[in-house]
Amino acid sequence: MTDLVELNVSEALDLLNKKEISAVELAKAHLAEMEKGRFLNAYITETPERALADAEASDKRRADGIARPLEGIAIANKDLYCTKGILTTAASKILSKFVPTYESTVSQKLIDAGTVMLGKVNTDQFAMGGSTMTSYFGVSKNPWADSNGEYTLVPGGSSGGSAAAVSAGLCMAATGTDTGGSIRQPASFCGVTGIKPTYGRCSRWGIVAFASSLDQAGPIARSVKDCALLLEQMAGYDPKDSTSVNKGVPNYVAALGKDIKGKKIGVPKEYLMEGINPDVKATWDKGIRLLKEAGAEIVEVSMPHTKYALPVYYIVACAEASSNLSRYDGVRFTTRVEGKTLDELYKNTRTDGFGDEVIRRILLGTFVLSAGFYDAYYIRAQRVRRLVYNDFKKVFDEVDALLTPAAPTPALSYEAMKNMSPVDVYLGDVFTTPASLAGVPALSLPVGVSKEGLPIGLQVIGKHFDEETVFQVADVLEKSAGFQLKPHRVKGA
């Protein structure tokens, strides 16, 4: 019998449409796997009753001949998406009891497309981090074991719960968000695929805000095609988000299966940085070779401001976060910790409710926005952000897409990360932050394996609103790379 938790979204849709499987069977198989996989701590909230009710309704719609595009597909939502009537924590203590009375636009679109929600998955607190270690609900585990067969590795972050759940078969696909790499880096660490679309492609309405000029929603799934299927449903203009762009959403799946002969793929020389893991470098070389063999023209390009992207990102993201998070004051949304005065109430609530990393970023952000330092840091960062953007603009006059690593290393262990300074942790975002600052679409897919047998992802970056080329190139790379290993087979759960 088909192992239902190993099916890709596209395969499952096929079997559902042929009535060989039902949405209820699919949901039940995943709920059972979620139970077995609880040690991974991928979910913050499981919603089995909702899943079964959704699945039953899906089977009925299919029987009635009114199936929607993703009818019956079992997914999880990052716990940053507000879900009506269902706990939404942003993995924080301050929102640990927050039950929204509304549904985010993107999760609503996925409901309207027929998906079945299995639950809400773990993330770094307020999406700040790259390991899920800043979550108030504890770290998630990477389903890929270390060389001793132990689960000691981080799944990456911030969408680490999403990537771990997709990788381990605890859902078929999941939503993520990406501000500076939070879809792409966990996808790379867990051997799955994820895309951060162009800024403005998906509505941010109803997603807990981190840094509003950078935040984007996107899918994490087990294939390029699945990401295309999901993104097509998630994307689109929303009058409730003034930064969402009123542009038609193309049929992304139609971009797949086309050859890339004559396409120009840029390889930015500045991405070859000190500290890049040799297996990551080897995987990058492999990707370049595979695209060349597929008929693409490989062009070495220069993006001179790449090295400034990381510091600029941390100034801009922290500045915006300090402003966005001011709303958690003990009066609205949150769990209140009383004080004698209003100021004390704020102070007590926020001291109790925010984790260390969140507080660090609020302090940093407040500092760079403060009167004496605004010009020196914030304004200057905005200017340099424009230079990073110009690098992309210029290079895209010459090439159709870029190929780079997604992260400088494969998944690290908790132990290693615990002993790293915050700045060393931030350095893990070197390859993902430039595309975030420029707002261009970027996808990470597994292409190689490290000496220890861990997955390594590569990043395909495209022009604004040209997700189609990104999918097309990634699809060719996926087929030629032949990345097959799956961790839940390894652990035999």
The residues that are catalytic are 78, 158, 182
Distance in Å, CB of 22 to ligand GLN, minimum: 36
Give CA–CA dist 163/157, Å, rounded. Answer: 8
* Axis crossing angle, helix 356-369 with helix 306-324, rounded to the nearest 10: 100
**Quick one: which of 158, 9, 129 has its CA closest to 72?**
9
Q: In the complex with ligand GLN, which residue's Cβ is closer, 189 or 346?
A: 189
Question: Strand 264-268's sheet: what is its strand order?
Answer: 43-46, 116-121, 74-78, 173-178, 216-221, 193-196, 442-449, 455-462, 401-405, 264-268, 297-301
**Quick one: which of 44, 45, 7, 42 has its CA closest to 27?**
7
Q: In the complex with ligand GLN, which residue's Cβ is closer, 210 or 431?
A: 210
Contacts of 392 (CB under 8 A, 6+ apart): 303, 434, 435, 438, 440, 461
Beta-carbon-side half-sphere exposure of residue 488 (alpha carbons within 13 Å): 23
Q: In the complex with ligand GLN, which residue's Cβ is closer, 71 or 429?
A: 429
**Quick one: which of 203, 127, 110 has its CA closest to 161?**
127
Q: Which residues pair with 402 in a beta bridge?
A: 266, 461
Contact footprint for ligand GLN (CB under 6 A): 127-130, 158, 178-182, 210, 317, 429
Distance in Å, CB of 158 to ligand GLN, minimum: 4
Distance in Å, CB of 134 to ligand GLN, minimum: 8
Contacts of 413 (CB under 8 A, 6+ apart): 146, 152, 153, 154
Distance in Å, CB of 336 to ligand GLN, minimum: 27
Q: How far are the Cα atoms of 22, 52, 74, 170, 412 from residue 31, in angstroms, in the given order?
A: 14, 9, 10, 7, 28
Contact 438, 389 (CB under 8 A): yes
Give CA–CA dist 118/172, Å, rounded. Answer: 10
Q: In the complex with ligand GLN, which residue's Cβ is closer, 179 or 306?
A: 179
Give CA–CA dist 337/321, Å, rounded. Answer: 22
DSSP-based three-state secondary structure for 227: helix
Q: In the complex with ligand GLN, which residue's Cβ is closer, 129 or 219?
A: 129
Integer Rg of the chain from CA = 21
Task: Please tell me the chain's helix, strand, coil percentages from 3-state DSSP, rounded to the nearest 5.
Answer: 45, 15, 40
Q: Which residues pair with 448 in a beta bridge?
A: 456
Beta-strand (E) ranges in 106-232?
Answer: 116-121, 173-178, 193-196, 216-221
Q: In the complex with ligand GLN, which residue's Cβ is closer, 158 or 306?
A: 158
Q: In the complex with ligand GLN, which residue's Cβ is closer, 180 or 194?
A: 180
Q: In the complex with ligand GLN, which residue's Cβ is closer, 257 or 275?
A: 275
Residue nearest to ligand GLN (CB): 182
